[in-house]
């Protein structure tokens, strides 16, 4: 008793859904914008624009005449031309540029309206026209190469608990990313970081998924006053357009063409996709400027991201964030797999859960190859490590970038899994 049962089919729900789109009557009407031009003795010209850029121009079959009463005012035009009834359109803006008091029979206005709808439906049903550039080559689309920077490799640290922050700063890290469950904690983190190290650069991350109605979460993230933001999706790109932004792994940047696209949108750096193995990463750094990228060389791989909230389901009698009591803020949860490894579960501000691999993995053995390929920005990420573990891990990676510690020695000392991204490759 009390268990929730999921149906694979519900006739009542199916009938409700079909009523929202089936039948001859349009259920959604797109706005069209009209302009009307004309003078006495000339035909009335009707210009129609839709929201997708289609433009039509029609003329009346008879000239405008002088009106002795009831001239074509904007109100009368809107009344006649706005009768779009059973069409997929609704009248948006209407602008009248008629000269003087003019008149056109109602029957002709109705004919113009019907013809405009028919022509608009025709042009909207046609496929987009593409222009073939016969001389274009793939080289024309690729980003231009840039000389490899002579600067020293730079270590970036991402923390997921505010308790990890002081340890990372004390270890001498100059660029910090924060990804907390509660965006309200970002303001405290930013203030704390700047008090402890005034020259530090601190960036914060909004949740990976943004749904309609969740703009308030992005507002909370921006109110932190951080130096910049980790962009995870196109909604973030639009919201933080005026800010400093770095593209995170969820943009799935795996080739130079997609990298060039996102660089044109104003991102300072791009996190290479986790789908790339070392050979593919080297190929990417050869095809696009290495200065564009940063690579995550140490992390607990996010294995899946889900709408279901485990915290609410198992640690609360509630049904959602309004009545669950927020157990995610006071409990740590891990999921034990069949071989006994406990994988870390994290919630975000939208009550979505991410499961992180319980064993951290490292690409330490490939770091020197990446430095040789021109990469200068290397990221390490923490999940639930203690402050002492944070300091020890940062210390080892600083030695690695300085060339005083071998990659094989690092992963053995820290008991890490040897892997870069989701596959080892060759």
Count the neighbouring beta carbons within 10 Å of the beta carbon of residue 125: 7
Q: Are residues 192 and 252 located together in one domain of the fold?
A: yes
Dist. CA 195–CA 204, nearest whole Å = 17
**Would residue 271 count as lying in a domain?**
yes
Q: Locate 198 and state its tokens.
A: 């005034």
Q: Are residues 113 and 180 located together in one domain of the fold?
A: no
**Would residue 6 count as lying in a domain?**
no
Q: Are residues 295 and 156 located together in one domain of the fold?
A: yes
Decide which of 123, 158, 192 is a domain's last residue: 123
Q: Which of 362, 391, 354 is nearest to 379 (CA)?
A: 362
Q: Are residues 114 and 155 located together in one domain of the fold?
A: no
Q: Are residues 255 and 180 located together in one domain of the fold?
A: yes
The domain in which residue 226 lies consists of 150-301+357-418
Q: What single-letter DSSP state applies at residue 145?
A: P
Contact 248, 230 (CB under 8 A): yes
**Would residue 320 count as lying in a domain?**
no
| Domain CATH for 271 | 3.20.20.70
**Is the pLDDT assigned to residue 24 strictly greater than 90?**
no
pLDDT class of 25 with cuts at 50, 70, 90: confident
Q: Are residues 171 and 272 located together in one domain of the fold?
A: yes
In the chain, the largest separation of any two C-alpha atoms, in whole Å, equals 96
Count the neighbouring beta carbons within 10 Å of the beta carbon of residue 14: 10
Q: Are residues 105 and 67 located together in one domain of the fold?
A: yes
**Would residue 135 count as lying in a domain?**
no
**Is the pLDDT assigned to residue 258 strictly greater than 70?**
yes
pLDDT class of 423 with cuts at 50, 70, 90: low
CA angle 361, 365, 369 (to 5 degrees): 125
Q: Are residues 276 and 216 located together in one domain of the fold?
A: yes
Decide which of 60, 88, 123 is a domain's last residue: 123
Please count the structural domains in the chain: 2
Decide which of 73, 88, 123 is a domain's last residue: 123
**Is the pLDDT assigned to residue 135 strictly greater than 80?**
no
Beta-bridged to residue 63, according to DSSP, are 43
**Is the pLDDT assigned to residue 426 strictly greater than 60?**
no
**Would residue 81 count as lying in a domain?**
yes
Q: Are residues 190 and 286 located together in one domain of the fold?
A: yes
Q: Are residues 84 and 166 located together in one domain of the fold?
A: no
Q: Are residues 81 and 156 located together in one domain of the fold?
A: no
**Would residue 97 count as lying in a domain?**
yes
**Would residue 136 count as lying in a domain?**
no
For residue 52, give Cα distances in angstroms to 30, 31, 33: 10, 10, 11
pTM: 0.71
* pLDDT for the residue numbered 105: 92
pLDDT class of 97 with cuts at 50, 70, 90: very high
**Would residue 346 count as lying in a domain?**
no
Q: What single-letter DSSP state applies at residue 270?
A: E
Q: Are residues 201 and 88 located together in one domain of the fold?
A: no
């Amino acid at each position: 008793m009390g268990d929730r049962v999921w149906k694979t089919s519900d006739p009542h729900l199916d009938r409700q859904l079909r009523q929202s789109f089936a039948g001859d009557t349009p259920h959604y009407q797109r706005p069209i914008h009209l302009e009307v031009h004309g003078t006495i003795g000339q035909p009335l010209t009707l210009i129609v624009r839709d929201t997708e850029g289609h433009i039509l121009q029609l003329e009346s079959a008879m000239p405008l005449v002088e009106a002795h009463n009831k001239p074509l005012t904007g109100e009368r035009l809107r009344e006649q031309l706005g009768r779009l009834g059973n069409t997929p359109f609704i009248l948006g803006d209407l602008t009248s540029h008629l000269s003087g008091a003019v008149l056109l029979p109602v029957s002709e206005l109705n004919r113009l309206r019907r013809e405009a709808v028919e022509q608009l439906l025709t042009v909207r049903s046609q496929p987009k026209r593409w222009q073939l550039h016969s001389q274009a080559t793939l080289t024309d689309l690729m980003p231009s190469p840039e000389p490899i920077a002579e600067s020293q490799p730079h270590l970036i640290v991402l923390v997921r608990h505010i308790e990890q922050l002081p340890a990372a700063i004390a270890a001498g890290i100059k660029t910090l990313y924060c990804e907390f469950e509660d965006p309200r904690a970002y303001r405290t983190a930013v203030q704390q970081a700047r008090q402890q190290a005034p020259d530090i650069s601190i960036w914060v991350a909004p949740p990976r998924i943004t749904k309609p109605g969740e703009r308030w979460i992005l507002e909370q993230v921006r109110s932190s006053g951080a130096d910049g933001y980790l962009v995870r999706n196109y909604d973030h790109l639009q919201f933080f357009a005026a800010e400093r932004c770095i593209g995170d792994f969820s943009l799935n940047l795996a080739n130079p063409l997609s990298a060039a696209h996102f660089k044109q949108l104003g991102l300072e750096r791009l996190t290479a996709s986790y789908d790339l193995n070392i050979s593919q990463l080297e190929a990417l750094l050869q095809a696009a400027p290495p200065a564009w990228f940063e690579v995550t060389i140490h992390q607990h791989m996010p294995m899946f991201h889900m709408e279901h909230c485990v915290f609410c389901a198992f640690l609360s009698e509630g049904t959602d964030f309004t009545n669950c009591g927020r157990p995610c803020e006071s409990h740590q949860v891990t999921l034990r797999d069949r071989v006994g490894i406990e994988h870390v579960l994290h919630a975000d501000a939208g009550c979505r859960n991410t499961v992180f691999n319980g064993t951290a993995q490292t690409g330490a053995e490939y770091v020197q190859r990446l430095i040789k390929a021109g990469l200068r920005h290397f990221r390490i990420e923490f999940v639930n490590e203690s402050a002492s573990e944070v300091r020890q891990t940062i210390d080892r990676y600083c030695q690695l970038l300085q060339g005083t510690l071998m990659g094989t020695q690092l992963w053995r000392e820290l008991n890490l899994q040897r892997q870069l991204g989701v596959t080892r490759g060759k």
